[in-house]
Amino acid sequence: MILLFLFSIALRGVVADKFDLSNLNWTLKNDNKSIIIPAQIPSQVHLDLFKAGVITDPLIDINDFTQRWIVYDNWTYTADLSPFLDTLTSTTRLPESVLLVAYADPYLFTFDRQTLFGHPVSWVDNQFRQYVFDVTDLILSSDNRDRNITFSFESAFYYGRNVSARPDAETFPGKNGDFVFPGIRYWMRKVPCDFGWDWGPAFVPSGIYKQAFLVTLASPPNTALEMDIKEAEASLDIYKVGQSSAVPPNETVDWLVNVSLSVRSASTFWNPRLAIALPELGLTSEAVLFPSIVKNTTSPTWLQLSWAIPDLAVERWYPHNLGRPRLYNITISLDLCPTSEGCAPLVLTIPTGFRTIQLVQNSYSHEDVRERGITPGDQWHFKVNGKDTYIMGSNLVPFDPFYSRVTDDQVRWILESVVKSGQNMVRVWGGGIYQPSSSDVSGGGYNFYSVCDELGILVWSELIFSDALQPINDFLLKTIEPEVRQNVRRINRHPSNAQWAGGNEIEGIALWTEKYVPDGKHYLNEFLALFQGFLHDIVVSETHSVPYTGCSTTKGVLSLDPYTLRLNNGTPGHIYGNSERFNYDASVAFDYNTFPISRFVNEFGYHSMPSFYTWEEVLTSPDDFLFNSTVVLSRNRHPPPGDLAFPNPNAHEGHHQMSSAVKRWLPSPSKKLSNETFAQWCWSTQVFQAMTITSQVAWYRRGAGQGENNMGALVWQLNDIWQGVSWSSIEYSGRWKVLHYGLTNSFSAVVVNAFWTPENEILQVLVTSDRFNDINGVAQLTWYDWYGNELSSCVYHFTVPPLNNTVLMNVAGLASILPYGKKPSEVWMLLNSTAKVDNKTVTSEQHFTTISLANAAIVDPKISMYVADDLQITLSAQGGVAPWTWIDHPLGTVGVFVDAFTGKPTNGFYLIPGVDRTLKFIIHEPPLAHDKRNFSTTDFVIRSIWNNTRT
């Protein structure tokens, strides 16, 4: 997963050929050869078994349980190399070198004893690394009776059991992060959530999950100069002169463009020259002369060049909500024979951007405390291009249990949905996988960071460690170091990358262990050795442009240089670091006293069911379409079983958390055993999820103007890895949940919100802005009854200071709050705001009741829906107000509903009699793989809270 450039494609003038191993005819076999089937690469064992008809689709029904036998077997991929070897014999000259370049899901990757004349190549144990092996001697051997190439994969389950039983393998207290497969995942450099999580399956897949090549390096015939360079690992790090992880950028000094290029060469080149250019601006560095590139294909030679560019020479890259994500093409030119004619330089072009990122963690000054009312303690927020930036975003999990089938269109839709909902950051969570740069870099498979660069999305990147104490045995550290270096170098070029965190939630586990477990200090010291020392030192040695954080959720630092975590060394009453919130007691879902008072909240969420349409993708029996059916329960992993028990014995608890929340805050769907009742239950859990999460977003954004100076809210979670119960705002198919539409309002640049504390009957209405400048606008607060009659209305003209709030209303007592003579059950308030931001009109719409909708006197709204052929949809209510009016688009489609007039994504609103809403369904283009498109305009379904009373 290193940043790999095949010079035969990316560089001009090199003589090298790349043979894609996917062009071979592969065979997959299990250990006892009872299964022998055709296969392919990139792929994974489950996918090949499915394609061959040995198993059914791994994602349907309870197949993640019934197919566990796959995990317990060893698997071998074999292919006849004759098509490649024949290309060698057809040439007049054999290559100087042959390199094998591959990525594989461990834990055994070799040429077996029957392959390439019985000579093994290597054993590897890290899924997150790129492997390059010189196999010249094996390929060019005169003994060519056996022409097979073989990749063998040991069962990760048994490998984990074996390695954890080593004499030097320590034991850890409790379950130590076990979700399904116990006690093994932290002994392996493999995707942690492959072994199960509380929102996903436990397939433990294996296979050649990314591209693999054989690369031949040959000299041109009749040419004295050999130009056989291959394999570049390139790092492009752009930062300010003097900037480092511990030293903030000076925004006015020159930019430094730092290029590090590794090359493997089949020849020696004397006095090569390296230069950098920015062709769009006509800027070129001086060429740097190097003594030599020595012939070496087993390890790389490193070339490095720094180039200073004046600050004002370039336009800066910004996240999309704050400016333009400006990109440039940087070219790296390597001239191998500067004194010879007819020897063209090798040129590598890298899209990138210029920006500064700082994670501010120093203490608030006495002046801040005294004059701004800031609660004492440390800051914890991002500065982008020298400006304090409010972060609004969500957490990303892997897109699929089987990496090899993730598509670029699938990923782009999720990232476009991030932008459409107003988010400016995604967090690449440390329990998943390092996301690729692009489909053609490092065997990528699909575009990720390159799309974030293009769309203007900041990325919080994490090293792959999550939710467990980590062993620090030498054999692990030996493979972790190149893993981290390769991935940091690869991602350096991307202006979207905002930081590196060492891992996810491990600091809190280590501190808890120190406090409550005998000899707990030992485990805390191991945590510090790995995350405060080892990983920190690697990251900061490879990048100057982004900060490093020891852990995602953290109490901050005592010092950046030397890097020292604060841990429990804090002053009571002060605020440090960041935080998260997960509270599944629905009775306190809207109790502000239970929300964290924090500088930054990097995880908060509530789980919900996927839609009825998503269940249709995986349930094969009509009997399973029930809220508490065995199969539906089996796909709820919250709380996780902690072992191999199936179905999850704790699923009833997770289901109860969802159903009890619906019953408390919404009218409950009936108990009829029907598809419509099941669909309404699924949707109702999503409505509650949207209600509780958007209320938290409002509270955290409000905190930007409070003593905590909150500067970030990252929702858990953005996407789904499969069809099941989860915290996501977007379902596995790409279908938006109610929450994602809710975030579109909550993450508006300027938003109006009502804050209600029932214990003292205080209503406060605020307008919040995330802009760098004062924002002027107008807000309207209107009370209605449930028949849609307007009872009262107030208009407020406001000015909001930068990154702050303006109070529009602060009233105590129901008698002063509610319209005269009305009971809480009879009325609700609509809140609207309009403001000009960057010469664009920004709107916000929210709704408020003082009581649960379960107790509101809602009436039949009698909604009518007209769908035109162009998928423009007009909704009218004739009988009363329809809370949470929702349109479901047809099965097998992916798209978004937008307001027909403003283009803003809109769904899940209050429909008022006499105030029609016109939406348009925008289908995702190009269609995703599962899009059906053969639907009728009658396939759209309308529902509202009233339907809960009628099912």
CB atoms within 10 A of CB 447: 22
Q: What is the C-alpha to C-alpha distance for residues 151 and 111, in angstroms, rounded to an integer?
A: 6
Q: What is the biggest distance separating any 2 CA atoms in the chain, rounded to whole angstroms?
A: 99
Q: What is the C-alpha to C-alpha distance for residues 686 and 682, in angstroms, rounded to an integer?
A: 7
Task: Identify whether 454 is a catalytic site residue.
Answer: no
**Contact call for residues 484 and 539 (beta carbons, < 8 A):** yes
Interior/surface letters 29-55, b for 16+ CB within 10 angstroms, e for the rest: bbeeeebeeebbbbbbbbbbbbeeeeb
Residue carrying structure tokens 């389950």: 157
Tell me the residue ranges of DSSP E strands in 647-789. 712-715, 750-757, 762-769, 775-785
Q: Is the dihedral of CA 541, 545, 549, 552 positive or negative?
A: negative
Sort strands 497-501 and 328-335 into parallel, antiparallel or unpaired: unpaired
Sort strands 391-396 and 425-428 into parallel, antiparallel or unpaired: parallel
DSSP letters along 12-53, please?
Answer: TT--EEEEEGGGS-EEEEETTSS-EEEE-SS--HHHHHHHTT
Tell me the residue ranges of DSSP E strands in 826-924. 827-837, 840-848, 863-867, 872-877, 882-888, 895-899, 909-911, 917-923
Q: What is the C-alpha to C-alpha distance for residues 122 and 111, in angstroms, rounded to an integer?
A: 7
**What's the burial of 936, exposed, middle or buried (CB within 10 Å: 0-12/13-18/19+)?**
exposed
Q: What is the C-alpha to C-alpha distance for residues 442 and 4, in angstroms, rounded to an integer?
A: 4
Per DSSP, the three-state class of 906 is coil
Structure tokens at 538: 């690697």
Q: Is the dihedral of CA 178, 184, 187, 188 positive or negative?
A: negative
Residue carrying structure tokens 């004062």: 774
Q: Nearest CA to 605 among 584, 635, 579, 586?
A: 584
Rg for the chain (alpha carbons), in Å? 29
Which are the contacts of 9, defined by CB distance < 8 A and separation ≥ 6? 18, 440
DSSP letters along 100-152, please?
Answer: EEE--BSS-----TTSTTT-------BTTS-EEEE-HHHHT-S--S--EEEEE
Catalytic residue among 505, 514, 542, 617: 505
Measured CA to CA in angstroms, residue 192 lies from 459, 488, 569, 661 at distances of 20, 19, 31, 31
Structure tokens at 596: 């964290």
Q: Nearest CA to 809 among 766, 779, 751, 847?
A: 766
Omega of the bond leading into 486 within 30 degrees of 0 (cis): no
Sort strands 458-462 and 497-501 into parallel, antiparallel or unpaired: parallel
Which amino acid type is present at position 234?
A
**What's the burial of 533, exposed, middle or buried (CB within 10 Å: 0-12/13-18/19+)?**
middle
DSSP letters along 807-852, please?
Answer: EEEEEESHHHHSPTT--GGGEEEEEEEEEEETTEEEEEEEEE-SS-
Structure tokens at 294: 């020595």
Q: Nearest CA to 428 among 379, 485, 475, 494?
A: 494
Q: What is the C-alpha to C-alpha distance for residues 683 and 731, in angstroms, rounded to an integer?
A: 12
Which amino acid type is present at position 98?
V
Q: Which residues are catalytic?
A: 505
